[in-house]
Amino acid sequence: MKKLIPLFLALFLLLIATLGPVQAQEGISALSTTEVQFPTELTFNLRAESAADITQIFLRYKVNRITTVPVTSVVQLEFDHAPLVEASWTWKMKKMLGSLPPGTEIRYSWRIQDASGYQLETAWETVQFNDNRYSWDTLTEGDVTLFWYRGGLSFAQALFDAANEALDRLARDTGAYLEQPIKIYIYASSQDLLEAMVYPQEWTGGVTLTEFNTVLIPVPPGDVARDGRTISHEMAHLVTYHMTFNPYNDIPTWLSEGLSTYAEGNLRPDFKASLDRAISEDSLIPLRTLSSNFPVNYDEAILSYGESYSVVQFLIDRYGSEKMLHLLSIFKQGSSYDDALLEAYGFDTAGLEELWRLSLGLEPRPSPSPPPPPPPPAPPRPGLFA
């Protein structure tokens, strides 16, 4: 009988240790809310209560975005210690040098501790950073959702159809496709769009926020024809981003913009006129130059888009969609520009430019003259005390 007492005591202590964490979590209660003030602020509110003073509150949050390294941010809140506390923290978008696009999802959780050592970690919740200045309507099919607030259903349907036609064209001619759902927000004016951003830029078309799978476009009702092209262009940027995203390298600008311009359908008349003139005058911009940012000069920028379209069309027409898809898959591995072209097609940027120019009836671009040989080294000078 005496041997049973230590065994019973050990079992009792084990039971107490097992119940400890459950009692700790039950000792603190919490109620959480959020407030969105788009596009500048997102506030997290907490009301927590315990038998002892609450001494620590941490907010953990993470943004749903495409990234190679998921990041969880942690904020320690300041408050007066008490058994019942109300605390809040406001995420000011100006401090992050930008803003989150509408519809961004943020997951968050609280960790609370009181003076007795009890802790509570709340379940992860999700808040959407919605542009609540407008009452949005939606159209959804497959992986595409379109949001708009002005104009009828036929207006939205025309834009929605343009987006899906661009996806179909890319899938048919390049094999590229969306890998994740995307959102398209249609603003009724450029001013409305600019006001949706903390640090707006004076662009005239749409903007694609690739890491958020979001497209923002200003389209006044009744201007569908022109802006259908814009939607197609921006949709293609998302597809290309999905197909080539990697932590090492981007793809050449001529390929990114060429695919997006190709997705619009026939080349815009002003792009075509600029391209035709440059071909007739043999004044095309070198392809290697178009691998980086396009010129800021308007006429040169128009030509850059026209040339990029022409190069992409040349690759698709001559080598087919499978080769283009293979090229994109190589870029997804982080390959350099020339290495990717060599692996997919057997030529580098210079070789591609030569073949493309020949297809236009132009001679290959003259190779740069080799640098002159360095002068022979000067004979050694005798030392001062030689």
- Model confidence band, residue 384 (pLDDT cutoffs 50, 70, 90): very low
Write the pLDDT tens digit of every residue in 128-186.
999 999 999 999 999 999 999 999 999 999 999 999 999 999 999 999 999 999 999 99
The fold for domain 134-244 equals Neutral Protease; domain 2 (1.10.390)
Question: What does the DSSP 8-state code read for residue 94?
Answer: G
Note the residue count of the chain. 386
Backbone φ and ψ for 352, nearest 5 degrees, come out as: -60, -45
Distance in angstroms (rounded) separating the CA atoms of residues 123 and 75: 17
Question: What does the DSSP 8-state code read for residue 274?
Answer: H
Write the pLDDT tens digit of every residue in 94-130.
887 668 999 999 999 999 999 999 999 999 999 999 9
Distance in angstroms (rounded) separating the CA atoms of residues 160 and 152: 13
pLDDT over 90 (residue 262): yes
- Greatest Cα pair distance, the chain, in angstroms, is 108
The fold for domain 27-129 equals Immunoglobulin-like (2.60.40)
Angle, alpha carbons 187-188-189 (nearest 5°): 95
- Model confidence band, residue 73 (pLDDT cutoffs 50, 70, 90): very high
Going by C-alpha positions, the residue among 274, 269, 275, 241 that lies closest to residue 257 is 241
Query: Which two tokens mark 56?
Result: 């620590």
Q: Domain ranges for the chain, please list them.
A: 27-129, 134-244, 246-367
- Model confidence band, residue 366 (pLDDT cutoffs 50, 70, 90): confident
For helices 298-332 and 337-345, the axis angle rounded to 10 degrees is 60
Distance in angstroms (rounded) separating the CA atoms of residues 259 and 324: 10
DSSP notation for 294-310 = PPSSHHHHHHHHHHHHH
pLDDT of residue 203: 56
- Model confidence band, residue 374 (pLDDT cutoffs 50, 70, 90): low
